[in-house]
Structure 1
Amino acid sequence: MNSDSPRPSVPAGAALYIAVVQFLFVTTWTLYVLFLPRLLESAGLPAAWTPWILLLDQVVFLVADVASGVFADRVQRTLGRIGPWIVGATAVSCVAFLLLPHAVRLGGAAPLLALGLTVVWTLTSSALRAPPWVLLGKYAARPALPWLNALTLVGLAAGGATAPFLGVVLRDVDPRLPFAISSLTLLAATAGIIHLERSLARRSTAAATATAPTQPQAPRVLDARQTAWMVGILMLAAAFQSHVSLNAAAQYLRFVRPAALELLMPLFWVGFGVAMVAGGALCRRHGALALMASAALVGAGSALAAANAGSLPLLIAAQIVAGAAWGGMLVAMFSSAADLGRSGREGLALGTMFAMLALAAIARIGAVLAGWPTSAAMAPAMAWLPVALWGAGGVLIGLLARRATWPRSPSGR
């Protein structure tokens, strides 16, 4: 019997519930990015500060993701309940988000208060990044994690797909209304995590056993293989950022007018969502690292096809395949982080993974500030960047997959 057998089975509904929370979190972030220039102007700050504020947000995420992951590990070991801490931090986050469009109307104190609320919101919202996956891994049998991770990632896919439509529908809306609705809805949904955790704990009398490590804990200091894993994730995430945020719109505009982008940009996330169906099964059958490497190489090929597409149908097909490849990569990232962190260090591993995603976003914002996407001289390099990063990252992760000493799920072959 493997070491994960004492853990109770986790119903798919639990993963889907967390997916709903993730969807609402992505929606609040989309609203924030959409209205940030207007909020800054209302507070007496130049809208040109927007990319710098977003850069600051990602720096905060970079630090807070690791801290929240480590804290989730500690809460899990000492108090045995992660849910109340997630809900408490989310409550603070939602209050800060709710107050943002009101603070900018407070006269001379508005700029400082608006910036302070932004930092508080970003800092506390890290509770909705790594910790929910720690909660899922706490009760789920390890062989089921890839499938449960895939279900949970459906929320990110839905949030990414609806982002362009939100930009169109809410373009001229007073931000106070969507900020209030999204923050209150997110808080209400997150509050259910406490009930979810209690329900999972009651599913088996062995739930308490799941909180006690049955294997040696993962090392506190990352070794060379784990450092290479971090570098590989950073490369894959940077490729995603450059392909979707820097290249996709320009590639579509070769064939369509700007108004069509709201229908075309979500196609990447359609592919992402479709990949969730097979990603969990492939990850369980072949191993997380093998799937991540294979999906990265597929992503490199699809990015190359998108850059050289001679027609709109070919470009659409390439973007859908790229989305499916990113979906496979992300499922494998979460599963490999769970393998790396077991037992008792899942939060540290997941927090580190999210930190690499934030660092990739920082690099993307830095490229925008440097003017790379609009530079004719940089155009060839920008087109090849996701190809090179996905390709190199896939090779690196593939080499790691060949190392028999890497932690593997009991179901891995």
Structure 2
Amino acid sequence: MVSAGEPKAAGGPALASVQFFFTLGWTVYVIYLPELLASAHMARAWLPLLLMADQLIFAVMDIAFALVADRLTDGYRKLARLLLWLTIISTFAFVLLPMSGNVSPSLLIAVLFIWVLSASVLRAPTVVLLAKRARAAQQGSLVRWYAAGMALAAALSPYVGTLLKGVDPRLPFVLAAVTLLIAVVVLMRTVMAAGPETRVEALQPVAFAVYAPALSVLVLAAGGLQLHAFVNAGPQYLAHAAKENLPWLMPLLWVGFFAALPAVGALVKRLGMLTVAAAGIFLTALGSYASAVVDSLPSLVVMQVLSGVGWAAALAGLMEYASTSGTRGAEGLFMGSFFAVLALATFGRILLVSTLLPHSPQLQGLMTFLPSGLLLAAGLIAALYAFKVSGRHSVMS
């Protein structure tokens, strides 16, 4: 995921592998969670509550672990050891999950809490770990490697769900845990072998208040994308295709996302991070709106892929802006808040679908165009913010 002429950041492929296996492990967990609850004789009503609790824990720990990383002296080595030990704890907890419900509901909840708490270090802190020893010019490469691993796993997730039907949960849980641990060990060895790089830039972190508008853009855009990809896309496909085709159709947004990533670096270099992000959000809004009004499956497929292309530019542009804004010394604060907002967007989507949407006909009527409306609002704010930031840079130069 490195564009031509862009400095390579050590550990990028290893970071992509960690995110790939982490996302697949999360998919395994979500697929089997209803079965785990049933084994513990817990009502299905616990399902959305636990998934929302997971996202709240992720949001808190994204910021907490990232702030710890900012305060560590000789940070990259101490952070690497912390990540490795917590990943080992996460591995054991994940392996125990399928067996915990057979003992008691309390044990299942306790093991689940330990797993979510320890696994949260594989989100923001892994990026912070590499960002702290990379040059500012390499931040974009790290961001796109991260996004590539996540997107590839997201594209494969529906197929994984199909393959795991009827499989004893202990096997996929063990495989997911062990492969993720191996990926983390490889990442840690890469980091420790390369050592810290000497930074030649005289950059300092921007004031967080200056960066904060990017988070408002992110929460609106991520909320719109969540509703488009995980709420509206399924029914839209079912209006034109049989249900058995969904596993082949649902990943198309992430296929477009993954395919667009190599071009994002060149666009950012030419146009700037926020400009690319704003354009990507507008493109995603267009794809979301068109997906709701097209009248054929081929047109819907094109619009879903277009949405993925736009989201690649939007997410990578905003994430690179967060990473470079935190250079140097505040990578944790900026990246932790970025990932926390993503977790809160997922929390909001689950809350909406499980609690609000079933009991509100008015809200159901808005759902067709609510995602594109949120994305359009985010794009307008992002465009104004990009203009303001570029004007500030012009004055300073």
Shorter-chain TM-score category?
over 0.9
CA distance in 1 between counterparts of 2:266 and 2:91 reads: 35
- Residues 77, 382 of structure 1: CA spacing in aligned structure 2 closer, same or farther, 3 A cutoff? farther
CA distance in 1 between counterparts of 2:265 and 2:365 reads: 35
Deviations along 1:11-55, one digit per CA (max 9) or x if unpaired, are 57x211110110000011000000001001101211231111101
**8 A contact 2:89–2:118 mirrored in 1:** yes
**8 A contact 1:83–1:135 mirrored in 2:** yes
Q: Which residue of 2 aligns with 1:45?
A: 42
Number of residue pairs the alignment of both structures matches: 389
**Are residues 1:57 and 2:51 paired?**
no
After TM superposition, list the pairs within 5 Å mapping 1:221-236 onto structure 2: 222-223=208-209, 225-236=210-221
Q: Which residue of 2 aligns with 1:369?
A: 354
CA distance in 1 between counterparts of 2:29 and 2:392 reads: 38
Deviations along 1:146-178, one digit per CA (max 9) or x if unpaired, are 233213311111110111011111021111111
After TM superposition, list the pairs within 5 Å mapping 1:250-399 onto structure 2: 250-370=235-355, 372=357, 377-399=362-384
Of residues 33, 38, 46 in structure 1, which corresponds to 2:30?
A: 33
**8 A contact 1:238–1:361 mirrored in 2:** yes
- Residues 69, 136 of structure 1: CA spacing in aligned structure 2 closer, same or farther, 3 A cutoff? same
Q: Which residue of 1 aligns with 2:114?
A: 120
Deviations along 1:61-110, one digit per CA (max 9) or x if unpaired, are 1111111111122236556543222111111111111111111122xxx1
**8 A contact 2:219–2:342 mirrored in 1:** yes
CA distance in 2 between counterparts of 1:259 and 1:374 reads: 29
CA distance in 1 between counterparts of 2:253 and 2:205 reads: 38
- Residues 187, 406 of structure 1: CA spacing in aligned structure 2 closer, same or farther, 3 A cutoff? farther
Q: Which amino acid aligns with 1:229?
A: A
**Are residues 1:178 and 2:163 paired?**
no
**Are residues 1:101 and 2:84 paired?**
no
Q: Which residue of 2 aligns with 1:140?
A: 134
CA distance in 2 between counterparts of 1:76 and 1:274 reads: 39
Q: Which residue of 2 aligns with 1:3?
A: none
Q: Which residue of 2 aligns with 1:6?
A: none
User: Relative to structure 2, which stretch is displaced further, 133-142 or 110-119?
Assistant: 133-142
Superposed displacement of residue 350, structure 1: 0.6
| Root-mean-square deviation (Å) | 2.2
Q: Which runs of 5+ in 2 are unaligned?
A: 1-6
Q: What is the percent sequence identity of the aligned residues? A: 34
- Residues 151, 193 of structure 1: CA spacing in aligned structure 2 closer, same or farther, 3 A cutoff? closer
**8 A contact 1:255–1:312 mirrored in 2:** yes
Structure 1 residue matching 2:72: 3-state secondary structure = helix
Q: Which amino acid aligns with 1:393?
A: A
Q: Which residue of 1 aligns with 2:85?
A: 88
Structure 2 residue matching 1:310: 3-state secondary structure = coil
- Residues 208, 293 of structure 1: CA spacing in aligned structure 2 closer, same or farther, 3 A cutoff? closer
- Residues 373, 341 of structure 1: CA spacing in aligned structure 2 closer, same or farther, 3 A cutoff? farther
**8 A contact 2:214–2:318 mirrored in 1:** no
CA distance in 1 between counterparts of 2:364 and 2:357 reads: 8
Of residues 67, 72, 79 in structure 2, which corresponds to 1:70?
A: 67
**8 A contact 1:147–1:279 mirrored in 2:** no
CA distance in 2 between counterparts of 1:120 and 1:100 reads: 10
Of residues 182, 187, 198 in structure 2, which corresponds to 1:209?
A: 198
Superposed displacement of residue 226, structure 1: 2.4
- Residues 213, 404 of structure 1: CA spacing in aligned structure 2 closer, same or farther, 3 A cutoff? same
Q: TM-score, normalised by structure 2?
A: 0.92
Q: Which residue of 1 aligns with 2:157?
A: 163
Deviations along 1:302-355, one digit per CA (max 9) or x if unpaired, are 111101011000000000000111111111122011122111111111110111
Q: Which amino acid aligns with 1:140?
A: A
CA distance in 2 between counterparts of 1:368 and 1:171 reads: 24
Q: TM-score, normalised by structure 1?
A: 0.89
